[in-house]
Amino acid sequence: MLEQQLLNALTLGSVYALFALGFTLVFGVLAVINLSHGAVFMVGSYVALALITHLQASLWVAMLGAMLASGIVGLLVDMLILKPLRARNAPHLIPMIATIGVGIMLTSAAQGLFGAEVLRFPEETLPAGEFVIGDVHVRALEIAIVAIAFLLMAVLFVALKRTQLGRALRAIAESPKAAWLLGINVEGLFHITSFAAAALGGIAGVLIGLNFNAITPFMGQPMLHKGIAVIILGGMGDIRGALIGGLFLGFAEVISKAYLSSQMGDAVAFGLLFLILLVRPSGLFGRKLERKA
């Protein structure tokens, strides 16, 4: 059964990584812990569901729509809330609290519009089919999830490493002021980052919604915890760390659920996190932090 568990772990882990990438990107570039990321994730899955059930859109169109819609939410949060706070030079705690407010608003709006009960994608929209390799059952859906997650992550990596845009973003991550002096449009890139990060969060929501076929207004909160766990594990603001951390969390969760009690597994994960923070605050894979005087 281990192979089956590993497959589950890979599916979950790849979505965790996708979710955490957006989270860590915002932290790396904007230096904001965006606690509305979980709610944006939830918005993504509801948008996809609404497109499929009300407009009879295909799954692919729904995914694109979900990315676009959640990206716009992220963009609006940046333009309407984070930008004025930046202009005011607010201490780092303040934008984080503002995003808590956004999260509450989005969750409450979803609850008011769609109700608190669990909603599901219609069975016929899910990719059907199942392969049997050895004694492992592979659902086509799982292949699609892993493929989409890795494809998007690959696009992001290439964009960050190879394009002018990515170079500019990395410059901002080092020092927004220096980047600005070099003539980089810092504000514009903040907007782009917010959009892209939220879009990644939104598609992660669709993928998780498909995987468990269950959507609720409150699905963002546990995911947010996992996102926090992943970026601590991988080092905050570290893109590669988010990928490794996401996969690691997926495996840790599935394995501990299979071989320990299902609940205590979470305690082990967070206990581990707590220890990692004490020993290596920059994360398992992060660079050593310089102590700022």
Binding site for another protein (CB under 8 A): 33, 35, 81, 84-85, 88, 90, 92-94, 97-98, 100-109, 111-112, 115-116, 221, 225, 228-229, 232, 236, 261, 263-264, 266-267, 270-271, 273-274, 277-278, 281, 293
The minimum distance between CB 292 and another protein, in angstroms, equals: 9
Question: Is residue 194 within 8 Å of 202, Cβ to Cβ?
Answer: no
**Nearer to another protein (CB atom), residue 164 or residue 263:** 263
**Looking at beta carbons only, is 65 or 103 nearer to another protein?**
103
Residue with Cβ nearer another protein (54 or 88): 88
CB 281, min distance to another protein, A = 5
Nearest distance from C-beta of residue 93 to another protein, angstroms = 6
Mention every residue, 6+ apart, whose C-beta is less than 8 A from residue 36.
77, 99, 100, 102, 103, 106
Smaller CB distance to another protein: residue 18 or 231?
231
Pick between residue 112 and residue 188 the one whose CB is nearest to another protein.
Answer: 112
Tell me how far apart the alpha carbons of residues 95 and 246 are, in angstroms, rounded to a whole number.
Answer: 25
Q: What is the token pair recorded at 2?
A: 């281990």
Pick the closer one to another protein by CB: 11 or 16.
Answer: 16
**CB-count exposure of residue 5 (10 Å: 0-12, 13-18, 19+):** middle
* Rounded Cα gap, residues 223 and 229, in angstroms: 10
Structure tokens that stand for 286 in this block: 């992060």
Q: 91 Cβ partners below 8 Å, 6+ apart?
A: none
- CA–CA separation, 113 vs 282, rounded Å? 40
Q: How far is the CB of 151 from another protein (least distance, A)?
A: 30
Three-state DSSP state, 30: helix
Q: Nearest distance from residue 282's CB to another protein, in Å?
A: 9
* Three-state secondary structure of 191-229: HHHHHHHHHHHHHHHHHHHHHHCCECCCCHHHHHHHHHH
Q: Tell me if residue 82 falls in helix, strand or coil.
A: helix
For another protein, give the closer residue by CB, 69 or 232: 232
Smallest separation, CB 109 to another protein (Å): 6
Give the containing element (helix H, strand E) for 68.
helix 59-77
Q: Would you say 85 or 255 has its CB closer to another protein? A: 85
Place of tokens 């659902």: 139
Q: How far is the CB of 84 from another protein (least distance, A)?
A: 6
Please tell me whether residue 132 adopts helix, strand or coil conformation: strand
Query: In the complex, what is the shortest distance from the CB of residue 274 to another protein, in angstroms, rounded to a whole number?
Result: 4
